[in-house]
């Protein structure tokens, strides 16, 4: 690339911290670094003209874990670990709201509801029976009973007569959240370069040489926040997982309000004003969706349309307005990978499906790894 002396000197020399990825983790990491090091030169490199992973593509659920998810987690983890997992999400949402303000992100609490399909076997009864036990277990986090049985007031079809609501769960405007974060970053003199792909890096005694698709430069520290794309740069076990969604056109007199999921979280929907956003279906083709290529598959989109018509809006005429996908970072374990990789290289990746709740904290913790 034909970079001038001035360009190198002004933007690509003496860089203290370079962050790869401008998702929720990368931006929060940058803000925390600025707080800790007011005079440092901080650079963010993002491969898309907008973030290309999950942070600007997601559904905007501010969730802590549905009752069936908590039960599934209890099969894998100790009670203490599950409490800790839920507490991290709870604290994370608090942090996000405090950092950006409810108005700026259009934060609303209408509850998070878990529906149970008629065809869903024993899960409904198990969740219902264990509801008091789970409420008691999570008292230290929520301070009162979080889960409640409620009637099917929104007229969903092919589901059990009641659903289980976490009264504390909320929803936000994903675009506003990311725009607010970006504006904060830009206000604090952090440079963001878009459309730059970090291809490789090599460590020296004093720092890291970073190779991008357009130029090479040196940085004292490299912080990797590339989530589902992580394995192309570092040797960590992160699998990409594409998630597809669709959104309807505005629907007259839509009464549905809140966030909802069913089929063990494989399907989720919410209202956005008078529209319904509906997503999921990765379980129809795990192998095909283990990709970091954007795109929508006919098989999954057709099934989303079918469930939208049969379960969510059985009596309401509606039209699809738009479809898209995003890339998540998953692994066998739920916890993100947050660690120092070598003397000058750090990573905070594998956020799974909970990045809104934990992304702010992981970004901050990533910045705090730096000595």
Ligand X SMILES: Cc1cc2nc3c(=O)[nH]c(=O)nc-3n(C[C@H](O)[C@H](O)[C@H](O)COP(=O)(O)OP(=O)(O)OC[C@H]3O[C@@H](n4cnc5c(N)ncnc54)[C@H](O)[C@@H]3O)c2cc1C
Site map for ligand X, 340-369, x if CB under 6 A? -----------xxxxxxx-x----------
Residues in the chain: 371
223 contacts ligand X (rule: CB under 6 A): no
In the window 55-114, what residues touch ligand X (CB under 6 A)? 55, 57-61
Beta bridge mates, 340? 346
Span 127-166, contacts to ligand X by CB under 6 A: none
Which residue in 47, 113, 282, 303 binds ligand X (CB under 6 A)? 47
C-beta of 61 vs 260, nearer to ligand X = 61
Q: Which stretch binds ligand X (CB under 6 A): 24-32, 99-107, 131-139, 142-150?
A: 24-32
Sheet holding 147-151, edge to edge: 147-151, 162-166, 112-114, 259-262, 267-272, 275-280, 239-248, 320-330
Binding segment toward ligand X, per CB under 6 A, in 96-104, 221-229, 298-306, 338-346: 221-229
Q: How far apart are CA 63 and CA 80, in angstroms?
A: 19
SS (H, E, C) 285-339: CHHHHCCCCCCCCHHHHHHHHHHHHHHHCCCCCCCEEEEEEEEEEECCCCCCEEE
User: What DSSP designation does 360 have?
Assistant: H
CB of 10 to ligand X, least distance (A): 21
Contact between 50 and 182 under an 8 Å Cβ cutoff? The reply is no
Smallest separation, CB 328 to ligand X (Å): 5
**Of positions 12, 19, 23, 219, contacts ligand X by CB under 6 A:** 23
- Cβ proximity to ligand X, 180 vs 227, nearer residue: 227
**Chosen residue from 12, 15, 19, 24 binding ligand X by CB under 6 A:** 24
Contact, 137 vs 84, CB < 8 A?
Answer: no
Binding flag, residue 229, ligand X (CB under 6 A): yes
Using CB under 6 A, which of the segments 42-50, 74-82, 282-290, 296-304 binds ligand X? 42-50
Query: Smallest gap, in angstroms, from Cβ of residue 65 to ligand X?
Result: 11
Give me the half-sphere count of Cα atoms (radius 13 Å) on the Cβ side of residue 86. 28
Q: Is 26 in the site for ligand X (CB under 6 A)?
A: yes
Contacts of 260 (CB under 8 A, 6+ apart): 112, 113, 114, 115, 163, 268, 269, 270, 312
Q: Smallest gap, in angstroms, from Cβ of residue 244 to ligand X?
A: 7
Nearest residue to 94 via CA among 367, 368, 370, 364: 364
- Point out which residues pair with 219 in neighbouring strands: 15, 208
Helices (H), the chain: 5-11, 24-36, 67-76, 79-100, 102-105, 123-137, 139-142, 174-187, 286-289, 298-307, 355-369
Sole window of 9-17, 130-138, 224-232, 282-290 interacting with ligand X (rule: CB under 6 A): 224-232
Contact status: 279 vs ligand X (CB under 6 A): yes
Residue with Cβ nearer ligand X (50 or 83): 50
Measured in degrees and rounded to the nearest 5, phi and psi for residue 111 equal 85, 155
Segment 163 to 202, residues that bind ligand X, using CB under 6 A: 197-198
The count of chain residues that interact with ligand X, using the rule CB under 6 A, is: 42
First to last CA, the chain: 33
Q: Closer to ligand X at the Cβ: 134 or 196?
A: 196
* Per CB under 6 A, 25 contacts ligand X: yes
Binding site for ligand X (CB under 6 A): 20-26, 45-48, 51-55, 57-61, 197-198, 225-229, 233, 243, 245, 279, 326, 328, 351-357, 359
């Amino acid at each position: 690339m034909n970079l001038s002396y001035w360009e190198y000197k002004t933007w690509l020399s003496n860089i203290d911290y370079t962050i790869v990825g401008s998702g929720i983790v990368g931006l929060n990491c940058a803000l925390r670094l600025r707080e800790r090091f007011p005079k440092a030169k901080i650079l963010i490199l993002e491969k898309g003209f907008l973030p290309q992973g999950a942070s600007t593509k997601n559904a905007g659920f501010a969730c802590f874990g549905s009752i069936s998810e908590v039960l599934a987690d209890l099969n894998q983890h100790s009670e203490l670990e599950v409490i800790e997992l839920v507490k991290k999400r709870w604290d994370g949402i608090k942090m996000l709201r405090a950092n950006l303000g409810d108005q700026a992100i259009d934060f609303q609490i209408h509850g998070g509801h878990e529906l149970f399909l008629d065809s869903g076997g024993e899960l409904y009864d198990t969740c219902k029976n264990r509801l008091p036990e789970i409420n008691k277990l999570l008292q230290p986090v929520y301070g009162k009973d979080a889960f409640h049985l409620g009637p099917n007031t929104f007229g969903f079809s092919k589901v059990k007569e009641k659903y289980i609501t976490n009264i504390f769960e909320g929803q936000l405007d994903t675009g506003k959240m990311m725009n607010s974060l970006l504006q904060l970053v830009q206000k604090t003199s952090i440079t963001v370069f878009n459309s730059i792909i970090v291809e490789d890096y090599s460590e020296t005694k004093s720092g890291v040489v970073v190779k991008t698709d357009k130029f090479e430069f040196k940085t004292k520290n490299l912080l990797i926040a590339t989530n589902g794309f992580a394995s192309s740069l570092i040797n960590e076990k992160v699998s990409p997982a594409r998630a597809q969604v669709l959104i309807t056109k505005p629907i007259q007199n839509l009464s549905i309000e809140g966030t909802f999921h069913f089929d063990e979280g494989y399907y989720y929907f919410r209202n956005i004003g008078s529209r319904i956003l509906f997503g999921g279906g990765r379980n129809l083709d795990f192998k095909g969706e283990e990709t970091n290529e954007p795109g929508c598959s006919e098989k999954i989109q057709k099934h989303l349309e079918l469930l939208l018509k049969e379960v969510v809006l059985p009596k309401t005429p509606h039209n699809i307005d738009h479809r898209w996908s995003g890339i998540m970072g998953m692994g066998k374990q739920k916890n993100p990978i947050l660690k120092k990789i070598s003397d000058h290289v750090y990573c905070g990746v594998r956020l799974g499906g909970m990045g809104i709740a934990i992304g702010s904290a992981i970004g901050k913790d990533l910045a705090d790894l730096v000595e």
